[in-house]
Chain A
Amino acid sequence: MNISLGLGFALLLSAVLATAAGAQTQDPVLSLADGTATPTQITVPAGKPFTLTVRNTGKTPAEFESHRLHVEKILPPGKEVQLKLTLPKGRYPFVDEFHPAARGTLVAE
């Protein structure tokens, strides 16, 4: 009885972990840190809604900007923003306006 309960719990836990991992690969996270963007290329499926999290992990403020995405967000250090997007096929360049060396591309395919 106890064993089967433990087994069930373990199964449930692994299922939860699996979905969490799945969600992570689906929903990309971009981190901006004082002039570096990680990753510099993010690939997402075209036409499918997803959430892009942009996080400022640096010490100085950042401004995530992409004219193509119609986004301009100021991020003080330690802050993050969630962008709900559904993109047609294409390339969407972005830049940290406050550190223009940090730039990259969102690719919807």
Chain B
Amino acid sequence: MGGQVAFILWRESIEALLVIGILSSWLTARQAGRRARLFLWGGVAAGLAVALGFAAMVLGFSSLLSGGLRSALMTGMVFLAAGLIVQMVAWMRRHGRTLKREMEGGLDAAAADGRWGAVFLLSMTAVAREGSETVVFLYGTLAAAGHSTLPGLLAAMAAGLAAAAATYALLRLGSRFMPWRRFFQLSEIMLLLLGAALFTTGVSDLVSMGVLPFGAPIWDLGMLLDDNSRIGSVAAALTGYRSAPDAMILAAWIVYWGAVAVALRWQGRASSLARTAPRNG
């Protein structure tokens, strides 16, 4: 039971931690300055507030939004986050080398603020989504605990939070000790996979709302890695893995990775143009 609680807490927070850890490492390494950090942590705080609000609605303390509207909002958030991730990765690629110089040159503070706005939105959606589930889980589990089980439960929760904090610290350490290029490549892959997970969840939500059709699975790898198992559920949350995808899930994967390929290729062309432009002019 205790290990279970710790594991669930860790799994529910890993997604947000990945996003925040990578963004934060990136802002540090590129010396983006205090203002950018303010947007990042402001997004985290706003995400927590949204998570608490959603949790209150799920628990029935508040009926501000109907269940249908709430899940529509959640689905919208998932797509928004997936889009922001792809855009962010493309932008990081382009500005990986030049951001510091641009900032020092005091270039375009307003444009930078616009970009930090995206950082704010991304950290907010990352925290809000799984955050509301975590709050319901914590609240409900604590509310049901008796006097005898409470200490063990609190210890398990502390262990789960410690595991989450350790994961975050590991990520930040990695950014410091790994060659920057390697860390950047790794974080790029992790972010894009996470975007795939979000996009797949969004499409799945649309199927469950009846917007997209429900279909029979095309293949079944359940014997190999079941997406309802411990490892399988983590793989699903971090990469969009499904052991038995139907046509809509398959289409989601193709659309997402196709869009990523197009966005990065287009970005690559734009940045190579930008690099040659000063020499020409």
A contact residues vs B (CB 8 Å cutoff)? 34, 58-61, 63, 65-72, 74, 76-77, 79, 86-90, 93-95, 97-100, 103
Query: Which listed residue, B140, B215, B243, touches A61 by the CB 8 Å rule?
Result: B140
Would you call A66 and B4 a contact (CB within 8 A)? Answer: no
Would you call A70 and B205 a contact (CB within 8 A)? Answer: yes
List the 4 closest A-B pairs by CB distance, nearest first. A61-B140, A59-B144, A70-B208, A88-B216
User: B133 — nearest CB in chain A belongs to which residue?
Assistant: A74
Query: Which listed residue, B144, B204, B233, touches A60 by the CB 8 Å rule?
Result: B144
Main SS class of interface, B:
helix
Contact flag A68-B244 (CB < 8 Å), given A59-B144, A60-B140, A76-B140: yes
Contact flag A88-B140 (CB < 8 Å), given A71-B208, A79-B60: no
User: Using Cβ atoms and an 8 Å threshold, which residues of chain A touch B144?
Assistant: 34, 58-60, 77
Would you call A70 and B214 a contact (CB within 8 A)? Answer: yes
Main SS class of interface, A:
loop
How many residues of B sit at the interface, in one of the four size bands?
A: 20 to 34
Query: Which listed residue, B137, B214, B236, touches A98 by the CB 8 Å rule?
Result: B137
Q: What separation, in Å, do the CA atoms of A97 and B141 have in the docked complex?
A: 13
Would you call B204 and A70 a contact (CB within 8 A)? Answer: yes
User: Using Cβ atoms and an 8 Å threshold, which residues of chain B touch A90?
Assistant: 216-217
Q: What separation, in Å, do the CA atoms of A34 and B145 have in the docked complex?
A: 12
Would you call A98 and B8 a contact (CB within 8 A)? Answer: yes
Query: Which listed residue, A34, A65, A76, A88, touches B58 by the CB 8 Å rule?
Result: A76
User: Using Cβ atoms and an 8 Å threshold, which residues of chain B touch A68?
Assistant: 217, 244, 246
B230 at the interface (CB under 8 A from A): yes
Q: What separation, in Å, do the CA atoms of A67 and B217 have in the docked complex?
A: 11
Q: A79: shortest Cβ distance to chain B, in Å?
A: 7
**Which residues of B1-55 have CB atoms within 8 Å of chain A's CB atoms?**
4, 8
Residues 214-231 of chain B: 1 if any A CB is under 8 Å from the residue's CB, otherwise 0? 111100001000111110
User: Using Cβ atoms and an 8 Å threshold, which residues of chain A touch B215?
Assistant: 88
B159 at the interface (CB under 8 A from A): no
A58-B144, A67-B242 given. 5 additional CB < 8 A pairs?
A61-B140, A69-B208, A74-B58, A77-B144, A94-B228
Q: B49: shortest Cβ distance to chain A, in Å?
A: 19
Q: What separation, in Å, do the CA atoms of A71 and B206 have in the docked complex?
A: 10
B161 at the interface (CB under 8 A from A): no
User: A95 — nearest CB in chain B belongs to which residue?
Assistant: B228
Would you call B136 and A61 a contact (CB within 8 A)? Answer: yes
B59 at the interface (CB under 8 A from A): yes
Query: Which of A68, A72, A74 has most B Cβ within 10 Å?
Result: A68
Q: What separation, in Å, do the CA atoms of A71 and B144 have in the docked complex?
A: 25
User: Using Cβ atoms and an 8 Å threshold, which residues of chain B touch A58?
Assistant: 144
